[in-house]
Structure 1
Amino acid sequence: MPNLPIINTHFDELVALAKQRNQQLVDDYQNYIEPLDSSAVENLMAAVTLSDFVFRAFEQQPEAIAQLFAERDFTDSHVPDYEEQLANLLQGCDSEACLHRVLRQFRQQAMVDIAVSDMVGHAYLDVSLARLTKLADALILSALNWLTLFCQERWGVPYGVDGQQQTLLVYGMGKLGGGELNFSSDIDLIFTYPQTGKTHGARKSLDNQTFFTRLGQKLIAVLDQQTADGFVYRVDMRLRPFGDSGPLVLSFSALEDYYQDQGRDWERYAMLKARPIGQGEHHQELSQLLRPFVYRRYIDFSVIESLRKMKLMISREVRRKQLTNNIKLGAGGIREVEFIVQVFQLIRGGRVKELQQRNLLTVLPLLVEHQIVPPESARVLTNAYRFLRRVENVIQALDDQQTQTLPDSELDQARLLHVLGIDTWQEFLTRLNAHLGFVHDEFNQLIGEEAPNHEDIQAQWQTLWHDSWHDTDDFTWQKAIASNWQKDGIWQTLYEFKQELDKQPIGQRGRVVLDKLMPRVLFHIHSNSAFENAYENTYEVVLPRVLQIIQKVASRTVYLELLYENDGALIHLIRLCQQSHWISDYIAKFPILLDELIDPKLLHNPPALADYVNELQQAMLRIPEDDVESQMNGLRQFKQAQQLRIAAADISGVLPLMKVSDHLTALAEAIIGEVIQQAWHQLTARFGQPKSTLGTNHKGFAVLGYGKMGGIELGYGSDLDLVFVHDCSLNDTTNGEREIAASQFYVKLAQKVMHIFNTRMSSGILYELDMRLRPSGNSGVLVIHIDSFADYQLTEAWTWEHQALVRARMVYGHDDIRNNFSAIRKRALTNPRENGELKKQVVEMREKMRNHIDTSSGQCIDIKHGHGGLVDIEFLTQYLVLRFSGKYPQLTEFSDNIRIIEGLAKVGVVSDESAQCLVDSYCQLRNASHRAVLQDGKAQLSQTMFNQMAGSVAQIWQSFME
């Protein structure tokens, strides 16, 4: 048996594993070990002890890995020419399967070399990062070059409008772009090409967009696909323009137009690192096109506010995922170092050209040289960054896992300590926390955060919280307050609250924070300092609502600390609880929403309608595409956060009623698009995509919104009435290894979409979906071809289904289906109808609904279903469209009630006076319905109030329907 590797004997777990692995290699792989000299054997034994990844690689490729240990000096700092090595290996490769195998096996061997050099040879960080980056470059380029020739043989050679041959350019983003790739990392890429044009030399020519899209899809599959040999890299394309919903590939001009017209601040940060992989004649041209977007000619301090928002989102992510001990995203971690450097690059880089670099360790000395950062700050930032990146590489090399979380097992902790040369875990944490503390201080100075000052809270409130459970008569201060609290039952409420807390598993740290937080809660509620418009006995209403939320989060110290450390957030929580019972219940149900209170300005200003898609894409970018559960939770958390922002803007008067529904509808549309993208991603990984969609930017799939979704009138608790359609040909199939009919693919897609929406998770469901309005209702197919949809609407649909169609519009899909649906809807609605029968059917349906749903009683009238209520107005407009659109087809243009009523007045079907009455009543009733939801009350009004809002509606109904 060979000698045991040199392992620090302080670590019993490591010594035991070394003995076990040593014996296992001797027993199972003696033939491969015998030819090695003693130094190589010692290195091998140490490596398989320190890294499960290296051990697993040796088991899979014993001959190749043994040869590596025989030939390599792991202390050598040389960066190999990976590209040349791969070129030799790929010379005889004649199939995509061969390409997959060669790349994966080469990647594994090279990563073993890097891991051993890092963990056994103690390679410099710069050398490790350079090797990891050069390896990724070589694997991407080798795959691209091989696939380019492969695609050109099938589809021809692409040429631009100037007659020059075109190539696909691959841009590496993030750490790959910066030449500082970590050990186990996904790679963020953007694909582009110089000019539009078409291919030459094949039987059938393709436009360049289609050719490069297919080439890009193959490149992603070669790198990302899991095979028996593993994968090369997890590929993330979501940093491209428009994210997942955008084209996979864009021309230079389209790329330039996007960044100049629509580029967002976070994309400026991302593009700082963008680097073309390989060398090419067009790289410089594109860099010049994009530079004005990234670097402004003036000193640009606006990026600091953008940085605050990005950091706030990251902090929320850390809390939501409960990412403790995360050296990348946590306070003082790698991301904060990167932000510090990048913010100065964006502020000064437009004028100081030397700062236009991609590598962080290259830029830091330049910041000192130009007197932007003090030398001592740069020195300690550099040391912290090197330490954190070294730790990151080691913990990822343990098992080739993409993690930045410190290990919690004693074995992995011992491995990390051994590689770093540190004796104890406590000593390591001391060093780590020193680095994190300095970085976080520097970061806070940059973005202007200040620690809150809590000294202003009166000492009596501390005493009140701690001692009030014994004898309230002992208090000599503010006796009137104590008396009122006794009378109003506040003492009893607080007593019961504390009794409930005593039953919860709150740790010592949580108890300490809670005891500091609660006096502030009592102070702010009782003093009315949290209220813009104070009411008498406000605390009677607000205190139980706030206590309900605190009780929900009492065992999650991070949220108690959030409220204690952010006095503005606490005050804002109290104010929201005062203004809306629905909001307080909503936050109690989803405590993660407390994150939204940190920035009250942001809370009361929801995104512009067109920005929901972008904000959702940005939120989902931080979640790995293959982590389905986290993606689904991310969607729910985004919806909840945005709905809270809309509600806050609603109750504060920032958004009027019509805008509230506009925002709730735009939010739902953005989520529908993202859900379909996720479902598409999951299904195409198994079956490929319908062949008719290859080389296009659409999916051949559309979603029709009915009811409030179609009418752009969603409320806070609305479900979504949806119908799914597709337009694939009958003979179409998918292009995956598991080929299925396209029609079957779309059924699976619809089922996956419903699963993502309806699955109940810790964060709830996404939306309640109602699919009963599809042709033939629950007995009909889940997704229908657009031609079959047309046949049904024109020959089989009932009157009530055409009523529903009045309020229908397409909420997702490409223009071909949109135009087709609009034509079908218009034909169905403008068909001539016999007025007497139409009126009879509409009235019967309305009475049937009223008899089953109307909750009116005595002097309380149901806002929706009472006589003259919202549904009467909706039925009336539907009836009038069905009756008169044959004569006035322009009545079918809109799907929302307000514009339909205005259209009816414009053509003279209703008088201007009646139209204004209907519009006013509809708006007032909807506003009352919103208010009822926010105050958690019944959707009812007193008879007097209802008559004031809708007294004339019943008369207008009678004039047309009786």
Structure 2
Amino acid sequence: MSLPALACLPDALQPLALRAEESLQQACAALSEAALAQFNAWPLARREDLRRVGAASDFVVQQGLRDPQMLLDLAASGELERSLGSGEMRQQLRDWLAECVDEDELSRRLRRFRNRQQLRIIWRDISRQADLIETCRDLSELADICIDLAYQWLYPRLCEQFGTPIGRRSGTPQHLVILGMGKLGAHELNLSSDIDLIFGYPEGGETEGVKRSLDNQEFFIRLGQRLIKALDAITVDGFVFRTDMRLRPYGSSGALVFSFNALEQYYQDQGRDWERYAMIKARVVGGDQKAGAELLEMLRPFVYRRYLDFSAIEALRAMKQLIQQEVRRKGMSDNIKLGAGGIREVEFIAQAFQLIHGGRDLSLQQRSLFAVLDTLRDQGYLPAAVTDELRDGYAFLRYAEHALQGIDDRQTQMLPDTDQDRARVAFIMGFDSWHAFHERLMHWRGRVDWHFHQVIADPDEEAEVAADECVGGEWLPLWAEAQDEEAACRQLDDAGFADGQTAWRRITALRSGSQVRAMQRLGRERLDAFVPRLLAQAVEHDNPDLVLERVLPLVEAVARRSAYLVLLTENPGALQRLLTLCAASPWIAEQITRFPLLLDELLNEGRLFKPPQAPELAAELRERLMRIPEEDLEQQMEALRHFKLAHRLRVAASEIAGTLPLMKVSDYLTWLAEAILDQVLALAWRHTVARHGAPRRADGSPCDPDFVIVGYGKVGGIELGHGSDLDLVFIHDGDPQAETAGAKPIDGAQFFNRLGQRIIHLLTTQTNSGQLYEVDMRLRPSGAAGLLVSSLAAFARYQESEAWTWEHQALVRARVLVGCPRVGQAFEAVRAQVLGRARNLDTLRSEVSEMRAKMRDNLGSKATAAGTAANAFEATATFDLKQDAGGIVDIEFMVQYAALAWSQQHPELLEFTDNIRILEGLERVGLLPGEDARLLQDIYKAYRSAAHRQALQKQPGVVSGDQFVDERRTVMRIWRELGLS
């Protein structure tokens, strides 16, 4: 691994070098005469390094100007020109913290020490006095000692305040174990890296030595919070390390600290493939080293399976596909970490072998990428020529990453777009020009990507592409305008188009459209390769005219983003699936046209037609959000929306393919909404707490979060359709009067109202990927005139004394979707009490019938008096599946009436919120004849299935009047037999 030599300082950077030297000289002069003399006495070699480093790095210059004495001291110690000895940096920081008296002083000293070391490391990296290994090692050691010594300083002070945590089983004092993940764990930190940590402690118990003891977990949570603040908070002195805790179990929604038993149980029962990948590099970086070693040994079976685990390839392939989607969506092809042939691909290659073989071959159980590459060579997993190329390519990319980050101590892997920064990167990397550097960079990215595809890519892909090379050749003359109109129309007619003339007009309109005319040469070449293939596959369908009508708008929409055309050209299976789905559903065609990123979902047929279960949905969404910085709300909102679009497409595709029955379609769409709401609540909670502090309960303890989102209607009844909105009610159980404990305190009522507003904002704001859901809050107490968020007590009072009968009907289908389990149980108790009270059945029948009559008058088909007129069953009439007599709402009202009428005697009727299972309950307790109950279930499913089909065809939920005649009459008969009018 050769060390790139610095190039000669180019003319473009000479002014920067001169200005840096002069500015630092002036800063020293302003400090003292002695400082100026010390600066002027620097040897020629150091002055030359100063000019080179000053031209390349704004960070070094800024730090030198801010604290010239720090730079002078580094130079005087010789640390700019030598490597630090073992333990030397740790002892330096220990000395710096020796007289530290409080947490504010701890924060200042840590940051000043970090700035000193960062300046030294960047200086040595840019001046080529340190190679990649030393730079990464020093950065990782800096993180280690800052984490550990900050912890060692904080721990005894928290013990004085809250007592010493004692293990319940061992009876011994407990310490935190701090695991460093990712590049920190592998001693491979880059120049401006964040650190991924997981906190654990050996065993439960309580603190001792103070009057009021704390549970061990609560003690370590408080300690962890203070440690994060000491490292992560941005002050006038900057920060120590950006600290990311989202790799812990359950991510941001999980506890900050877990006991060893809880960690072991989580990874055994719920650990995901990506968590295995992350845990490969886990290392104890602070706290109790001995206990940490025991923890890693406990978790080893989760990471390394005893058998050859070839499923790891598929897991890594899926992870890479997710990253590629992010790269495409964010326009990050110039990202040397995540883009094709980037740093991440080398890491994936190494970790694929580790995950597959590491359980049996202990030599692969290493953290360092270079060490793993050596093992892959020595053990014969890969040829030496391959590992040599991967090593050299990875080193080049990492040096380039440091060049990008050393300019301004900024966390970036994107190639610069300004001439000055391009000149800096080329200079640092030893090239005379940006062009020369970029050419070499693309060489290495090409080699890495090639090796990556040999290991990770689907082996069937090459065969599929090769077999498809000549597809569409017969359509080339038509698209290339080598035929006249008559010949083109004749070819289209002969191929199976019903109207060749119209098809020809559509093709020529695409070719002459503004989007195609504005395409660059490469994009046009891609379009010319794609359209003949499209036509060749279109004629294989029963209705090629419909295929062309629905797919060509998509082609026009993505013409300027021709990477999607390549995706479809090189993946004929994906193109085939696209045409099939678009032919089956104009709704799907419209969705993909509006959001072309959904084309990625067509690549994997098994995944497309097999949407994940509820736990997998939640875990996948959590994993996606983990890759986004917590402060980047815009990207979090985009990720949520893309997740919804992708999974909604999978459900629709599965429904069309017949692999998902109606009830499962609604289940999946409901699970999808719940997974999204769970993360939206977490995001909104973090944002609101960050601004105002946590709200309080009546006993003064902090809420966590003492808030639930209740779903009514279709989401409450687990009956969501493709375009359904969400009927929601927000309920909290905090103290409305108590102020929050933040920098901008507000009372509890205001806090929860703002939390509710933030949730609605996250759900309804239009972004490039649309909105998540339309939200209807009118079912909250007092409707639109009521508070946005109700306290549990106020909700109970309203339901007991003020709510109308129709609001109790709605409550039948209400259930807690996400939020605090304790408040959720309290809500269920209120619901059971309200719905289960004794009612006058005559009054109830009258009120339910009156409400249904009003709905029919306002929402039913006017021409047939909402399905009650004599002509309602004729082919010339229409039947509104939902609102007309005998339709969906009639069945829902009957179920709601029955639940209100008889749940006092049969509380089991309140167990479920969906109509199908409530009807099962009515049959089970003998309140509805079994035949009638089953008829209503079948009719209800038939109606909803028809409504789903209409939605996928972008049609309203209305059919001709001669459909569902027997079903409607059956519903109307049972309606009358229940005494409703």
TM-score computed with the length of structure 2 as normaliser: 0.93
Q: CA deviation at 1:503?
A: 6.3
1:869 shift after superposition? 0.8
Q: What does residue 785 of structure 1 align with? A: 791
Relative distance call for 1:363 and 1:649 in structure 2 (3 A) is: same
Q: Matched residues in 2 for 1:649 and 1:751: separation? A: 35
What SS class does the counterpart of residue 737 from structure 1 fall into?
Answer: coil
Asked whether the 8 Å contact 1:13–1:410 carries over to 2, the reply is: no
For 2:215, the aligned partner's letter is: D
For the residue of structure 2 that corresponds to 1:179, the secondary structure is coil
Match of 1:376 among 375, 378, 385: 385
2:132 alignment partner, one of 119, 125, 142 = 125
**CA-to-partner distance for each residue in 1:849-872, whole Å, 9 max, x for gaps?**
222222465522011111111111
Separation in structure 2 between the aligned mates of residue 99 and residue 694 of structure 1, nearest angstrom: 30
**How far apart are the structure 1 equivalents of 2:700 and 2:61?**
41
- The reply to whether residue 192 of structure 1 matches residue 216 of structure 2 is no
Question: Is the CA contact 1:43–1:69 (under 8 Å) kept in the aligned structure 2?
Answer: no
Q: Deviations over 1:457-486 (max 9, x none)?
A: 243211111116x62235698485279565
Within the candidate set 921, 931, 946, 2:939 is matched to: 921
Alignment of 1:467 onto 2:481: yes
How far apart are the structure 1 equivalents of 2:473 and 2:826? Answer: 71
Q: Residues 44 and 686 of structure 1: is their aligned pair in 2 closer, same or farther, counting only changes over 3 Å?
A: farther
Which residue, out of 644, 655, 659, partners 1:654? 659
- 1:619/1:634 contact within 8 Å kept: yes
Task: After superposition, give the CA deviation of every residue in 1:540-567 in whole Å (9 maximum; x if it has no partner).
Answer: 1111111011111111122122112222
Q: 1:212 aligns with which of 220, 226, 230?
A: 220
Change (3 A) 1:697 1:370: farther
2:163 is aligned to 156
Whichever residue aligns with residue 839 of structure 1, its letter is R
Aligned to 1:704: 710
Partner in structure 2 of residue 12 of structure 1: 11
* Structure 2 counterpart SS, 1:723: strand
Q: Distance in 1 between matches of 2:804 and 2:108?
A: 58
Is the Cα contact below 8 Å between 1:44 and 1:69 reproduced in 2? no
**Structure 1 pair 432–250 and aligned structure 2 pair: CA distance change class (3 A):** same
In structure 2, relative to structure 1, the CA distance for the partners of 1:841 and 1:802 (3 Å cut) is: same
Deviation sequence 1:353-381 (CA, Å, 0-9, x none)? 12111111112111212111211111111
Change (3 A) 1:522 1:145: same
CA distance in 2: counterparts of 1:899 and 1:486, whole angstroms: 50
Q: CA deviation at 1:745?
A: 2.1
RMSD (CA atoms): 2.1
Distance 1:86 1:905, change over 3 A: same
1:115 alignment partner, one of 100, 116, 122: 122
CA change 1:787–1:588 in 2 (3 A) is same
Partner residue in 2 for 1:897:
915
Percent identity for Structure 1 against Structure 2: 45
1:698, distance to aligned residue in structure 2 (A): 3.6
Deviations 1:210-233 (CA, angstroms, capped at 9, x unpaired): 111111122222222222222222
1:631 to 633, 636, 642: 636
The 3 A distance-change label for structure 1 pair 885 and 431 is same
Structure-2 separation of matches of 1:826 and 1:719: 26
Amino acid at match of 1:159: I
Structure 1 residue 296 corresponds to structure 2 residue 305: yes
1:505 CA displacement: 3.2
- Are residues 1:952 and 2:974 paired? no
Aligned counterparts of 2:59 and 2:759: Cα–Cα separation in 1: 36
Per-residue Cα deviation, 1:721-778 (whole angstroms, up to 9, x for no partner): 1111111234544333333333322222111111111111111111111111111112
Change in CA separation of 1:475 and 1:736 when aligned onto 2, cut-off 3 Å: closer
- Amino acid across the alignment from 1:272: I
Give 1:176-575 correspondences, 5 Å limit.
Answer: 176-278=184-286, 280-449=289-458, 450-451=461-462, 452-453=465-466, 454-467=468-481, 471-474=484-487, 478=491, 480-481=493-494, 487=500, 489-501=502-514, 505-526=518-539, 528=540, 534-535=541-542, 538-575=543-580
Cα distance in 2, alignment partners of residues 868 and 862 from structure 1: 10
Paired letter, 2:888 = L
Distance 1:462-1:317 versus aligned 2 partners, 3 A rule: same
Aligned-partner SS, 2:211 = coil
CA distance in 2, matches of 1:44, 1:949: 87
Partner of 1:758: 764
Q: Say whether the 8 Å CA contact 1:856–1:940 is kept in structure 2.
A: no
User: Does the C-alpha gap of structure 1 residues 703 and 486 become closer, same or farther in structure 2, counting only changes over 3 Å?
Assistant: closer
Does the CA contact (< 8 Å) of 1:706 and 1:809 recur in 2?
A: yes
In the alignment, which residue of structure 2 is the partner of 1:873?
891
Measured at CA, do residues 737 and 154 of structure 1 come closer, stay the same or move farther in structure 2, by a change above 3 Å? farther
Superposed CA deviations along residues 475-527 of structure 1, whole A, max 9, x for unmatched, are 6984852795655511111122222245663222111101111111011101x
How much does 1:714 deviate? Answer: 0.7
Report the count of equivalent residues: 948
Superimposed CA distance per residue, residues 303-337 of structure 1 (whole angstroms, 9 cap, x where no aligned partner): 11111111111111111111021111111111110
* TM-score (normalised: structure 1): 0.95
How far apart, CA to CA, are the structure 1 residues paired with 2:122 and 2:355? 34
Q: Residue 866 of structure 1 aligns to a residue in which SS? A: coil
Against the structure 1 CA distance between its residues 121 and 332, is the aligned structure 2 distance closer, same or farther, given a 3 Å change threshold?
closer
- Structure 2 vs 1, CA of residues 473 and 10 (structure 1 numbering), >3 Å: closer, same or farther? farther
Counterpart Cα distance in 1 of 2:234 and 2:455: 43
Q: Which residue in the other structure is 1:89 paired with? A: 96
AA matched with 2:607: L
- The one-character-per-residue Cα deviations of 1:441-469 (angstroms, maximum 9, x if unpaired) are 1111112444422422243211111116x
Decide whether aligned partners of structure 1 residues 504 and 189 sit closer, same or farther in structure 2, where only a CA change above 3 A counts.
Answer: farther
| Pair 1:610 & 2:615 matched | yes
Long gaps (5+) in structure 1: 1-5, 529-533
1:154-212 deviation per Cα after TM superposition (whole angstroms, max 9, x unaligned): 11100112101111111000001111011111111111100011110112111111111
Deviation readout 1:412-469 (Å, 9 max, x if unpaired):
111111111111222212221221122111111112444422422243211111116x
Is 2:516–2:559's contact at 8 Å kept on the other side of the alignment? Answer: no
Q: Is the deviation greater in 561-570 or in 106-115? A: 561-570
Q: Distance in 1 between matches of 2:247 and 2:159?
A: 27
**What is the distance in 2 between the residues matched to 1:492 and 1:595?**
29
Equivalent position amino acid for 2:42 in 1: S
Aligned-residue offset at 1:19: 3.3
When residues 480 and 745 of structure 1 are mapped into structure 2, their CA distance, relative to the original with a 3 A threshold, is closer
Question: How far apart, in 1, do the equivalents of 2:472 and 2:668 lie?
Answer: 42
Contact 2:694 2:702 in 1 (8 A): no
Contact 2:8 2:427 (C-alpha < 8 Å) held by counterparts: no
Q: Superposed, which structure 2 residues align to 1:66-81 within 5 Å?
A: 66-78=72-84, 81=88
Deviation digits for residues 889-929 of structure 1 (CA, Å, limit 9, x no counterpart): 22211111111111122222221111111111110000100
Give the direction of change, closer, same or farther, for the CA distance of 1:153–1:690 in structure 2 (3 Å limit). farther
Per-residue CA distance 1:15-56 (angstroms, 9 max, x = gap): 232334344444555335622123344434433321122222
Distance 1:19 1:948, change over 3 A: farther
Deviation at 1:696? 8.5
Q: Is the 8 A contact 1:856 1:862 kept in 2?
A: no
Alpha-carbon contact 1:143-1:222 (below 8 Å) kept: yes
The question of 1:593 aligning with 2:598 is answered yes
The one-letter code of the counterpart of 1:457 is V
- Counterpart residue type for residue 109 of structure 1: R
Paired with 1:353 and 1:695, the residues of 2 have a C-alpha distance of 49
Distance in 1 between residues matched to 2:270 and 2:515, nearest whole Å = 53
1:40-51 alignment, distance < 5 Å: 40-51=46-57
The answer for the alignment partner of 1:644 in structure 2 is 649
C-alpha change, 1:324 and 1:49, in structure 2 (3 Å) is same
Shift of the 10–253 alpha-carbon distance from structure 1 to 2, 3 Å rule, reads closer
